[in-house]
Amino acid sequence: MDNLLRTAYQKMVDEKKSGIEDDTRKIKNCTSREHNPPMHLHIPYGKCYRHICPVCKHETMIYSSELSYGVMQ
């Protein structure tokens, strides 16, 4: 069975050719004012913020900065 799978995979790889192809990703032109996440968020260290557009359902993840600012005494 493993040899059969390897042979099928190798055939699939061999059939691929370099060149220009159609872009199969969904291209959305969402015009919602809420498409982009809010600005100037404070995200605590080690946390992230998930924003989902209410119209097109595009998901954006915003991660906290790796920098930490401490008060020097």
Identify the pLDDT of residue 42.
87
Identify the pLDDT of residue 21.
78
Instruction: Walk along the chain (73 residues) in steps of 10 and give the mean pLDDT of each run.
Output: 67 74 72 90 89 90 73 54
Amino acid at 30: C
Closest of 49, 52, 46 to residue 65, by C-alpha: 46
Contacting residues for 60 by C-beta, under 8 A, at least 6 apart: 36, 37, 50, 51, 52
